Amino acid sequence: MALDTAWVTAWINRSTEVISENRVALITLDRDIGDGDHGENMDRGFQAVSTKLDTLSPDATPGDALKLVATTLISTVGGAAGPLYGTAYLKAAAAVGSAPELDGAAIVALLTAARDGIVLRGKAESGDKTMVDAWTPAVEAAEIAQQAGSSEVEILAAAADAAEAGAVATEPLVARKGRASYLGERAIGHRDPGAQSSALLLRAAADTAAGE
């Protein structure tokens, strides 16, 4: 069953809850190798996004909702996360266009565009110990699931599983981008906070698609 605007808004609301629940954990991760503000910034941004959902018109498309997320995060989230996530949602909105519902191919296009937006903005690659290390496995898993004929729910679940594994896999890496790169080998053993928040957001997408 294709996913519509109701799913996107449910995803956004669940994302707000999940980020709030994990705010302190994200702050702790970022304090270890960064500025320590990732959890606070993300929480503030998604709280603002949820408030803005009331301004969506009744005939809003999934793309409209994603664009709302993008513009709100860019204007409210500090640090690197705002522009990175804002670009991700903006590119995702462009990828799905004005479609009223998203099938499996559209879900893959959404995830791919979001990842590519992050890469474009942050100039990071897989293995750099950034959120790309969660997004790229997610995109690859989604592509495989879609090509195998999986449902939209199954595609998102595969993406979330891969993102979570990707976030964990950042722990032994040496950071090559962002403030964590200044630490050199001292960043080894710490999970990238952006990869972790990405995994949380993708799990929220999968859970809401599954009706959880």
Give me the DSSP letters along 106-147.
HHHHHHHHHHHHHHHHH---TTSSSTHHHHHHHHHHHHHHHH
The pLDDT value given to residue 180: 64
Domain boundaries, the chain: 3-209
As its CATH architecture, domain 3-209 has Alpha Horseshoe (1.25)
What are the CB-based long-range contacts (under 8 Å, 24+) for 181-189? Answer: 183/33, 186/33, 187/33, 187/129
How large is the C-alpha radius of gyration of the chain? 16
Alpha helices (H) along the chain: 5-21, 23-33, 38-52, 62-76, 81-96, 104-122, 132-147, 152-168, 193-209
Tokens linked to 19: 């980020």
pLDDT of the residue at 200: 98
pLDDT of res. 177: 67
pLDDT in the model for residue 179: 64
Q: Does 181 have pLDDT greater than 80?
A: no
Position 118 pLDDT exceeds 80: yes
Contact partners, residue 139, CB within 8 Å, separation at least 6: 108, 111, 112, 115, 159
Using CA atoms, how far apart are residues 80 and 75, in angstroms rounded to an integer?
A: 12
Q: CA 4, CA 16: separation in Å to the nearest integer?
A: 19
Residue 4 in this model has a pLDDT that exceeds 90: yes
Q: Which two tokens stand for residue 56?
A: 């969506």
Please state the separation of Cα 134 from the chain's center in Å: 9
Q: How far apart are CA 45 and CA 23, in angstroms?
A: 12
How confident is the model over 60-97, as pLDDT tens digits? 999 999 999 999 999 988 778 889 999 999 999 999 99
Mean pLDDT of all residues in the chain? 93
